[in-house]
Amino acid sequence: MTKPLEGIKIIDFTHVQAGPACTQLLAWFGADVIKVERPGSGDVTRNQLRDIPDADALYFTMLNSNKKSLTLDTKKPEGKEILEKLVRESDVLVENFGPGALDRMGFSWERLNELNPKMIVASVKGFSDGHHYDDLKVYENVAQCAGGAASTTGFWDGPPTISAAALGDSNTGMHLAIGILTALLGRNKTGKGQKVAVSMQDSVLNLCRVKLRDQQRLERVGYLEEYPQYPHGEFSDVVPRGGNAGGGGQPGWVLKCKGWETDPNAYIYFTIQGHAWEPICKALGKPEWIDDPAYKTAEARQPHIFEIFGTIEAWLADKTKFEAVDILRKFDIPCAPVLTMKELANDPSLRASGTIVEVPHKKRGSYLTVGSPIKFSDMKPEVTASPLLGEHTDEVLASLGYSRQDIFNLREIKAV
């Protein structure tokens, strides 16, 4: 099966999570992704949180599948020369070094554009160019704080809270992938490459846009009716943390199910979608609520929404989260069990769809990873193992015209 990105050659100068998540996605879809790593050590995640001595850590293997690995010291003249050759024949270079690192290496945007005017140079940084924090190095949680996610996540009586979802890292990588694909389409029209830059702060903020909506509503009317603070609590002049409240027009909450006393994940998320009120009342055995003026409209329900949630919890007390969802789905009520990583890893539907995949690896044996969440009718992205450090160095150098003796010499001086 031909993959749409076959023939696109990408220099993957990324590390940790934000950049690798982007290039992994492009590799799944057929791009030839060559990961450039420092000889001897490679991407720092190869060693981080190892669970098997001497084998690449899962942090690395789960973000670098379908790629090749080329070791190259790009601070040595010989390494720079190899990188220049690669740049001349590649379509995209992706990097997420700290601010200024690529320039210090001698590969500024201007230089890269001079070497290959058709090449797309894609970067992730913590903050956008010209931002007053643009000199900062940034990791996931820093970005969640800088992008507005932390101040709006968690409970009102607790501190700002970090999400487990990689809003700063993988999310930024996905934004960058969209930027790269757009620039590739643009190049088809103009014949020119361009610089594509995505900041982690901007990418987090992009996912928090409904909170910016709420800030403006709060400033206009002084309250936010879908937040638990309404109508009994106080609002300040900034969007508060709303706990587990539904973010749109649908009130919702995480509700206890049978076994919650001992199982920290015996919960479901229950959404009271306005037009589902009648089926909800029927499902709960509360038909009298359907036309009761105190319950009939969303506005009438909001002042005592927690009393309603309490009634639903009483109904849930003798049902597991799975039993509850099986009943509620028949009434077309938007809800889901709170699923653990263990449950997701073993979910037969996720295995069948290729969302959870088991990948054989030369050193680790097989490991689980998350496959492509994007499904196509004409292509099934296949996930192959992440490369060992320098696994493809000889192959890539040979393709650039280096002989066995050249490669031996380059190894002697630790340029590769």
Residue (19 or 390) nearer to ligand CAO, CB? 19
**C-alpha span between 304 and 320 (Å, rounded):** 25
Helix, strand, coil percentages in the chain from 3-state DSSP, rounded to 5: 40, 15, 45
Applying CB under 6 A, the span of 12-20, 175-183, 231-239, 305-313 interacting with ligand CAO comes to 12-20
Alpha-carbon distance values, 403 to 309, 394, 396, 416 (Å): 71, 9, 11, 14
Element (H, E) at 256: strand 252-256
243: which 2 tokens? 């706990």
Residue 403, number of CB atoms within 10 A of its CB: 10
Residue 8: in which H helix or E strand, if any?
Answer: none
Q: Judge whether 98 is annotated as a binding position.
A: yes
Binding ligand CAO (rule: CB under 6 A), the pick from 5, 8, 11, 16 is 16
Q: Is the Cβ of residue 4 or residue 100 nearer to ligand CAO in the bound state?
A: 100
Is 45 annotated in some ligand binding site?
no
Q: Taking contact as CB under 6 A, which single stretch among the options 57-65, 92-100, 268-276, 406-414 is the one that binds ligand CAO? A: 92-100
Q: What is the DSSP string of 174-214?
A: HHHHHHHHHHHHHHHHHS---EEEEEHHHHHHHHTHHHHHH
Tell me, residue by residue from 330 to 359, as one string, x for binding to ligand CAO by CB under 6 A and - for no binding.
------------------------------
Which 3 state secondary structure label does DSSP give 77? Answer: helix
Does 125 bind ligand CAO (CB under 6 A)? Our answer is yes
Minimum distance of ligand CAO from residue 72's CB (angstroms)? 5
18 touches ligand CAO by CB under 6 A: yes
CA proximity to 373, closest of 173, 76, 197? 173
Cβ proximity of 267 and 256 under 8 Å: yes
Short-list 414, 412, 410, 391, CA closest to 402: 410
Question: Has 72 been labeled as part of a binding site?
Answer: yes
Q: Should residue 287 be labelled a site residue for ligand CAO when binding is judged by CB under 6 A?
A: no
12 binds ligand CAO (CB under 6 A): no
| Marked catalytic residue, from 12, 43, 169, 214 | 169
- d(CA 177, CA 19) in angstroms, rounded, equals 9
396 binds ligand CAO (CB under 6 A): no
Q: How many residues are recorded in the chain?
A: 416
| 64 touching ligand CAO, by CB under 6 A | no
Residue located via tokens 């030369």: 362
CA-based radius of gyration for the chain: 26
Q: What amino acid is encoded at 242 in this protein? A: G
Is 75 flagged in the annotation as binding?
yes
Cβ at position 110, least distance to ligand CAO in Å: 17
Show the site string, 151-180: x = touches ligand CAO by CB under 6 A, - = not. Answer: ------------------x-----------
Is residue 138 a contact point for ligand CAO (CB under 6 A)?
Answer: yes
Q: Is residue 36 involved in binding ligand CAO (CB under 6 A)? A: yes
CB closer to ligand CAO out of 85 and 304: 85
- Whichever of 78 and 347 has its CB closer to ligand CAO, that residue is 78
- In angstroms, give the least distance from the CB of 50 to ligand CAO: 18
Q: Which is nearer to ligand CAO, 350 or 400 (CB)?
A: 400
Q: Say how many CA atoms lie within 13 Å of 89 toward its Cβ.
A: 13
Active site annotation includes 157:
no
Residue from 104, 192, 375, 404 binding ligand CAO (CB under 6 A)? 104
| 400 burial type by CB count under 10 A (0-12 exposed, 13-18 middle, 19+ buried) | middle
Chain positions contacting ligand CAO, by CB under 6 A: 16-19, 36-38, 72-75, 96-98, 101, 104-105, 124-126, 137-140, 169
List, by residue number, the catalytic residues: 169
Task: List, as residue ranges, the binding site for substrate.
Answer: 248-250
